Structure 1
Amino acid sequence: MNRSKSNWLLVALAAFALTACSGSEEQTTAKAAPVNFATGDECHVCGMVITNFPGPKGQAITEKDQHVRKFCSTRDMFAWALQPENVNRNHTLYVHDMAETEWASPDDIALIDAREAFYVVGSNRKGAMGPTLASFAAKAEAEKFAMEYGGETMAFPEITMDHLNSGMAMHSMGGMDH
C-alpha cells in the first residue's frame, strides 16, 4: 500500500473512531426528563409524604444510575444538593415554576431546570417544612413574587447553606397549615 493511501486510511479510521465516541458520549450526557410526583412519594431528606404539602417541590436525578430523589420542598432539595458529597456532582435538578402553577398543589407540568431557575429566599410563603425557596423560570416573575411576599431574588449558584439556615429553622412544622 502506498503512503498516501495508508495516510488516508488512518485519517478515515480516526474520523470513524471520533464519531463513534462522540455519539456514545451524547447518549450518556443526555439530560434526564423530570419525573411526576405520585401520591405516597416520600421526601429523600425528611421522609414526609411530598404531595401532602403546599409549595414548590424539587427532584434530583443522578447521572450515573439515573436514580430519582424527590423532595417535599425546594429547601430540602438544596439542603441535599449543597452537601459536600453532592455539590460538585452534575445531577439533573428540577423544581416547579411557581408562575405557572398553584402554590397549594403544584402541577408537574410546570417542572423546570433548577440550575436555570430564579429563587425567592426569605418570603412569607410556607412549604412542607415551613419557609421554602419559591422557584421561577423568569427573574421578573421571581421579583414580582418577592414584592408581594417578601424575600430576596437569587440565581441557583448564589444560594448557600447559610441562606437555608437563616430564618429557616430545619424541619419546623410551620408549613403544615395549607
Structure 2
Amino acid sequence: MTMPALLPTLALIALLLTGCNNATDSAERMPPQPISDDDICHVCGMFITEFEGPKGQAFMQSHSDARKFCSTLEMFVFLQQPENQTQLRHAYVHDVGVTPWEAPKDDAFIPAADAWYVVDHDRRGSMGHTLAPFSSPERAAQFSTVHGGEIITYDDIDLELLARIGRDEGSGHAAHSMEN
C-alpha cells in the first residue's frame, strides 16, 4: 500500500485508540468536588476537614461521586490496590504550592497524574507523613529546599514507596493510635 492509501486506515486507528483512553480524556473528567465539614475519609472514616495537609479525591468507573481522602497518602494506598487500579477514572490532589497547608482550599485541586510530589519532608498531614503535591517542579523544589525531601512524579508512586512513608512515625494521629 502507498502512503496516501494508508492515511484513512491510520486515521481510523488513531480515532479508535483515542476512544479507548477514557480514563484520561478531559471531556469525561468529572470536576473536583468540594470537601465539606461532613465529608469523611473513604479509608479511615475520619472527618477530612479536621486535619491539615493536602487531601485527595478519586473518581472510579463505577461511581459518579468522588471518593474523598483525608491525606494524599491514604488516597494513593487505596489507588494502588489492584482492584482499584483498574477502576480509576482520574484523581485530584491539592496543589500545596498555591493553598495553605493548614487548610487547603477546594479551588486548589489539580489532576493527580500531572502533579510533582515531595516525599520525606518535615510537614505532616492527617496520617503523619504524606505526599506534598505541586503543579510545577519549580514549586516542588522550593518546598523541598525549605522542608527537605525528594521530588517524584505520579509514575514513581508505588506500594513500596507508600509503605516506607507510612512506616515513618510522624506527628499525625496514626502515630498516636499506634501508641494506644
TM-score (norm 1): 0.78
The runs of 5 or more residues in structure 2 that have no matched partner are 1-14, 174-180
1:66–1:140 distance in 2 versus 1, CA, 3 Å: same
User: In the alignment, what sits opposite 2:171?
Assistant: 174
User: In the alignment, what sits opposite 2:119?
Assistant: 121
Q: Give runs of aligned pairs for residues 7-156 of structure 1, distance below 5 A.
A: 30-156=28-154
1:46 corresponds to which letter in structure 2? C
Shift in Å, 1:167: 4.0
* Higher mean C-alpha displacement, 59-68 vs 132-141: 59-68
**Separation (CA, whole Å) in 2 of partners of 1:173 and 1:49:** 19
TM-score (norm 2): 0.77
CA RMSD across the alignment: 2.3
Shift in Å, 1:169: 2.6
SS in 2 for 1:168: helix
Higher-Rg structure is 1
Shift in Å, 1:28: 10
SS in 2 for 1:76: helix
2:40 corresponds to which letter in structure 1? E
The runs of 5 or more residues in structure 1 that have no matched partner are 1-17
Instruction: Quote the sequence identity (%).
Output: 40
1:175 corresponds to which letter in structure 2? G
**Separation (CA, whole Å) in 2 of partners of 1:107 and 1:50:** 12
1:156–1:28 distance in 2 versus 1, CA, 3 Å: closer
1:122–1:61 distance in 2 versus 1, CA, 3 Å: same
Q: CA offsets per residue over residues 143-170 of structure 1, 9 Å max, x none?
A: 1111111111011011111111114238
Q: How many residues align?
A: 152
